[in-house]
Amino acid sequence: MSDNREVNSIQNNPDPNYWRSFEELYRNEKTLKARHHEFAEGVTDDFDPNENLSGISRRKFLALLGASAALAGVACSDYRDKGEIVPYNVKPEEIILGRPNFYASTCTACANSCGILIKTREGRPIKVDGNPEHPVNQGKICAKGQANILNLYDPERLQQPLKKSSTGFDNIEWKKADSDIIASLSMAGSKEIAIVTHTITSPTFLKVLEDFKAKFPTTKIYSYELFNSSARNSAWTKCYGSGNFPLIKWNEAKVILALESDFLGVEGNRVENSRMFAEGRDVNSKSFNRLYVIESSMTLTGMNADYRMRLKPEAQFAFVMSLINELNRKGAISASIASNYSLDEFVKKNNLDKERVNHLLNDLIANKGKAIIHAGDLMPENVHIAVNILNELLGNKNLYRTDSASVNLLNLSSLDEVKELTDKMRNNQVAVVIHLDCNPVYHFPNDLNYKELLTKVPTVVTLTERMNETAQFSSYILPLNHNFESWGDSKTRTGVISLQQPVIAPLHNTRQKESILLTWISTSPDTYTETLYHDFLMKNWETNIYPTLKSRIEFKQLWFGALHDGFALTNEAGQNFSSINLTGLNLTETKFNSEAMTLVLRESYQVGDGRFANNGWLQELPHPVSKITWDNYAAISHNTAKALDVQNDDLVEVSVGDRKLTLPVFIQAGNADNTITIELGYGREFSGIVASGVGFNANTLLSSKPEFSQWVYTNATIIKAGGKYPLASTQEHHAFDNPRIQDLHLKRHIIQEGTVALYEKKSDFIQEHRPKELESVYTPFQYNEMKWGMAIDLNKCLGCGDCIVACNVENNVPVVGKDQVLKSREMQWLRIDRYYSGSPDDPRVSMQPMLCQHCDQAPCENVCPVVATTHSPDGLNQMVYNRCVGTRYCSNNCPYKVRRFNFFNFRDHFRDGYQESSILTLMFNPEVTVRSRGVMEKCTFCVQRIEEARSEAARKGIPIKGTDVKTACQEACPTNAIHFGDINGKDSEFYKYRNHELGYYVLEELNVRPNVTYIAKLRNIHTEEL
C-alpha cells in the first residue's frame, strides 16, 4: 500500500508540467496500469520460447552442414579426372593417328563419273575432292560431289530391308527378302521382268545385267535420266550415222556461241567444260575467247557471256537457219538449205540487237575452224541438226575432240520404249519391276500413270539409299550402300577406265546393288558375302579388261596400282567424223507464236534432278543466278511480270494443257519475255525431313507426248493465283546500298571491270582508279616474313558455288534452314555476290566471291571487348571461339559483312536437331572447332591447313612455303580462279596475281588494307567502254 502510494505518488501524481497524454493527465486507470507492463496486452500471447523454434539446435545445424560438405566432397569423383584414353586393340597399319589417308575412287552422284580422292581420318571419310591425276576432271568436282559426303552419314538412310505390310513397312531379313524375290523372279514365266535404272556407266555392272538377263530371259532393261541428251544423240545419228557426239575443245575456241546451252552450268561434264573454258580466258597469257549466249532465261553460262541476247527457245531453229542463210549470202559458206530464212527479218521480228548479231556474224566468219556453236540438251533434234550443219560448213569440226570421246555403254530408253513398259504393265504382262537406285514415280511424266500401274505388278522391288516416292509404292525396299561404301568401275570416256573402291565398310545393314543382283542370279540367298561383288569385279578385270590394257606388269600389280590411282589408262583410238550426209535430212521448222507463253523446265543447279533434295548443304547453296535457297520458283522477265501484275513472292498458276502447278514467281533480269523457267527436282515427298515441304514439284508439268521437246512446252499459260510465298534469297541480305541508286557497286568501285580492248590499249587502267597513299593512325606492321594472301581472278570465276560447298564441308558449317535464311542468318563463310548493271531486260552480270579479307588494319579486331579476334604475324585475322562472348561488335564494324554469328546452336535448331544426331558427328573435320550458340565465326583462310603445312615443314626441317597450302575453296574451284599463297614469295604463281596490273581491292578507300586481291574482269567486246 505504501508502495502503491509511492508509485501512486510519483507516477500517478506526475509533475503537472510534464505529461505524455491526456489519459495520463487525467489519471486514466488503464493507462497508469499499463505502464507496469513492458508489452501491451495480447502482444506476447503467441510467444512461447519453447514453441516455434526449430528442433535443430545451433550445434546440430553446424554439425549437419559440415557433414554434408564432407559427404559431397567424398561422393564427387576426383575433379581432376580427365576420363579415359582408349587406343586401338590392334592398330590398322595404314592409320597414323591425326594424319589423313586418301583413297582414290569414282563419284557416282551423276553419270559423269569424275575421279575423286576421299580424305579419311581414322577410317572415316570427311572430305571429297577431285583426283588430280584423273584425265577428265583433273582434280575438281562439282558442288554436288562435295556435298555427297553428307549423304553417306545421313541419319535417314535406310538401314534395314523393308517389306510392305498393311500398316506401312516392316523390317525384314535380307535372307527372307532375297528368297522371296528369287521366287518371284523364277516364277515370272513368260511375263516380263523390268529393270529400271539410271545411266549405266559401269562395264562390270553391265556384265552383271547381262548375266541376269541370261538367267532370267524375260528381263528387259530400261534406263532413263530426267535430263538427257536424247535429242542430240538422235540428231548425231541422223547426221553422222552414230549417236556418239563429240567432246568440244573449249579451251581452243576463240568464239563460242551457246544456244540455250548451259555448258558451264549443267550440261555434260560441267567441271571439265568450266576448266577448259577458263583456259581460254587468261590475263597472264592475255588470250581471251569471246562467248555469245543466246538463251531464254539467265543461266550460269549466260552470266558469263560477253554478248548475250534473249530469244525464246522455239525460235532458235529459225535463228540458226537465218544465220546459215546470211553466211551463205556473205559468201562465207556455201549452203542452200536455208534459202527461205532471212536474218534481217528475224532480228526485227524478235527484237534482237542488230549490232550484236553483226558482231556474231563477223566473228564466225573471221574465226572459221576456231569457233564452235553449241546447242543445249533442251533443244529438239532439228536445232541440233542445223547446228551440226553450220559447224561443219564453218570448219568448226576442228574443235571436236579426237583424243577422247564419250562412251555410251547402254543407250537410254526412248520415251516410246518406256510407254511400251507401261502398256505391258497395264495388261498385266509384267511380273516383277526392279528399280535400281532410281525414282521413276517422281521423274516420269504423270500421264504415264506409272504410280498407279505399279499396283498392278505383283512384285515391285526398289533398291535405294533412302526412302523416296518410288520406294513408297514398292513391295520390297532394299537399302543400298552409298557410293563411298561400294566397289565398282566406270567407263564414260575413251582412254580411261575409272575404279571405285569403298573407303569404309557399310555403316548400316546395306548391300551393293551389284551384289544383290548377283545373289539373285545364283538363286540362293546364301551366296551373298561382303566381297561378292569385289571378287566379281576383280575377275571381270582379269578376264575381260586387263587384256585390253596391254600392260607390261602382271594383273595383281596392275589391280592394286589402279586402285591406288583410281583409274587405268587404256590405249583407245579417239573419234573421227566424216561429213554430214545432207540428203535425207528433213529439217522441219517449228511453228511458234511469240505472244504465247513458253515453259522451260531446267535441271536444278543445287539438287540435280531431285536426288540431292535431302542434302541440307545443297538446299542452302544459293542459286548461282537468283541466290534463292530452299525453293524453286517460276522465273519470268520483268515485262511479263508487269503484264501479269505480279511481284516477287506472288503465287502464280502455271498450266500446260490440263496440267497445273501453283508456285511463287521470281522476276529474273535477263529473261526473255513470255517465257517461264522452272527448275525441277523440288517438291519431293517421302524423301526425308530435310526435303519434305521444300519447293514445288514441277515434274507434274511434264508430258510423255511432248510436241516441241521433253522440257520445253510452247503452249503454256500463267495467271496470277493470289497469295504470297516468301522466297529466301541471300542476295539482298548483304546490300548496304540504297536501291534507288543504281550501279552503286560500280560507283563504290566494288566491281571494277574493263574490256579486253581497253586492257590492250592501256594495261594499267585499273590502277588509275585505285586510291593513292592512304594515311593511317597506326604504324603499319611490317610483314617481312611469310604473309598469307589470296587473289581471286574474276575473269575465271563463273559464279558456280563449288567453293562454297567445299568450305562448308571443310569447316563444319551448319545448315540453318529456310526460316533463318529469311532472316539473313545463313552461316556460309564464303558467298558469291552477284550484281546487275544496265537494264533489267539486258543486264550485265558481275560475280564476286566475298570472304573475310583478313585486313591488315581490321576494323573488327580493335572493337572486341574480350580480344577474341586478333591478328597473327603471318597476316591472318584470327578468331578464338572460346573467348568470344557474342557481342557482335566485330560484325558491326566489318565493311564487307563477312562475319557470321551463331544466333542459335543451329545444329540443334534446324529440323529438330537433325544435325545433332550422333552419326553426323563422324563427318566433322576434327581439325576445326564445331561452334555452338553465341559465337562469331568467319573464314579463317583454312588455318587448320596452314598449321598442318607448318607442322609438315617442321617435320621435314624446311621452312614453310606459300605453295604448301591450298585452301578448300581454292582446291574446289574448277576454273582455278582462286589463288592463295605468300605475298612475299617472289617466285610463286600467286605473286603474279597479287601484283597484277588488273588487281584491285574492294573498298580500299576505307584503309582497312584487305588481303584479297581481285583481278578485274575483262569483257571481250568490240568497244573499249563497257
Task: Give the cell for residue 538.
Answer: 576383280
Candidate ranges 443-451, 679-687, 693-701, 880-888; the one touching another protein (CB under 8 A): 880-888
**For another protein, the closer CB: 325 or 812:** 812
How far is residue 768 from each of residues 442, 750, 764, 774, 789, measured CA to CA in Å? 56, 15, 7, 15, 22
Least Cβ distance, residue 554 to another protein (angstroms)? 12
**For another protein, the closer CB: 715 or 862:** 862
Contact (CB, 8 A) for 656 and 599 = yes
Least Cβ distance, residue 540 to another protein (angstroms)? 15
DSSP symbols for 307-347: EEEE--GGGHHHHHHHHHHHHHHTTSS---TTTT--HHHHH
Contact (CB, 8 A) for 109 and 86 = no
The residues in 669-688 that bind another protein, with binding defined as CB under 8 A, are none
The CA distance from 438 to 907, in Å, is 30
**3-state DSSP call for residue 442?**
helix
The CA distance from 831 to 291, in Å, is 25
Least Cβ distance, residue 485 to another protein (angstroms)? 8
Contact string (CB under 8 A) for another protein, positions 129-148, x = contact: x--xx---------------
Least Cβ distance, residue 117 to another protein (angstroms)? 6
Q: Give the distance from CA 498 to its chain's centroid.
A: 24
Least Cβ distance, residue 159 to another protein (angstroms)? 6
Candidate ranges 397-405, 668-676, 854-862, 917-925; the one touching another protein (CB under 8 A): 917-925
Q: Of 153, 362, 393, 348, which is closest to residue 924 (Cα–Cα)?
A: 153
- φ/ψ of residue 166, rounded to 5: -65, -25
The CA distance from 659 to 717, in Å, is 10
Candidate ranges 235-243, 709-717, 914-922, 998-1006; the one touching another protein (CB under 8 A): 914-922
**For another protein, the closer CB: 332 or 689:** 689
Task: Give the cell for residue 225.
Answer: 535420266
Candidate ranges 309-317, 328-336, 430-438, 911-919; the one touching another protein (CB under 8 A): 911-919
Does residue 906 interact with another protein by CB under 8 A? no
Does residue 159 interact with another protein by CB under 8 A? yes
Contact string (CB under 8 A) for another protein, positions 686-725, x = contact: ---x------------------------------------
Least Cβ distance, residue 273 to another protein (angstroms)? 23
The residues in 530-589 that bind another protein, with binding defined as CB under 8 A, are 531, 534, 551, 553, 557-558, 560-565, 568
The residues in 89-128 that bind another protein, with binding defined as CB under 8 A, are 89-92, 94-99, 101-104, 117, 120, 122-124
Question: Considering all CA atoms of the chain, what is the largest pairwise distance in Å, rounded to the nearest integer?
Answer: 155
Does residue 944 interact with another protein by CB under 8 A? yes
The residues in 251-310 that bind another protein, with binding defined as CB under 8 A, are none
The CA distance from 894 to 892, in Å, is 6
The residues in 183-242 that bind another protein, with binding defined as CB under 8 A, are none
Residue the block writes with cell 535464311: 821
Contact (CB, 8 A) for 94 and 103 = no
The CA distance from 729 to 734, in Å, is 11
Does residue 80 interact with another protein by CB under 8 A? yes
Candidate ranges 81-89, 229-237, 273-281, 327-335; the one touching another protein (CB under 8 A): 81-89
**For another protein, the closer CB: 899 or 1019:** 899
Q: Of 489, 541, 532, which is closest to residue 205 (Cα–Cα)?
A: 489
Does residue 863 interact with another protein by CB under 8 A? no
**3-state DSSP call for residue 281?**
strand
**For another protein, the closer CB: 698 or 876:** 876
Which residues have a Cβ under 8 Å from the Cβ of 348 and sit 6 or more positions away? none
Answer for which of 547, 657, 723, 873 binds another protein (CB under 8 A) is 873
Q: Which residues pair with residue 678 across a beta bridge?
A: 601, 634
**Helix or strand (DSSP H, E) at 165:** strand 162-165
The CA distance from 376 to 231, in Å, is 10
Q: Of 109, 118, 137, 122, which is closest to residue 563 (Cα–Cα)?
A: 118
Give how many residues touch another protein by CB under 8 A: 87
The residues in 787-806 that bind another protein, with binding defined as CB under 8 A, are none
Answer for which of 29, 84, 732, 775 binds another protein (CB under 8 A) is 84
Least Cβ distance, residue 1005 to another protein (angstroms)? 29
Candidate ranges 73-81, 280-288, 372-380, 391-399; the one touching another protein (CB under 8 A): 73-81
Task: Give the cell for residue 80.
Answer: 581432376
Answer for which of 16, 42, 55, 87 binds another protein (CB under 8 A) is 87
The residues in 950-979 that bind another protein, with binding defined as CB under 8 A, are 950-951, 954-955, 957
The CA distance from 144 to 152, in Å, is 13
Does residue 502 interact with another protein by CB under 8 A? yes
The CA distance from 91 to 97, in Å, is 10
Does residue 922 interact with another protein by CB under 8 A? yes
**For another protein, the closer CB: 551 or 700:** 551
Answer for which of 377, 793, 927, 982 binds another protein (CB under 8 A) is 927
Does residue 912 interact with another protein by CB under 8 A? yes
Least Cβ distance, residue 480 to another protein (angstroms)? 16
Buried b (16+ CB within 10 A) or exposed e, 674-687: bbbbbbbbbbbebb
Contact (CB, 8 A) for 1020 and 289 = yes
Candidate ranges 605-613, 700-708, 864-872, 1015-1023; the one touching another protein (CB under 8 A): 864-872
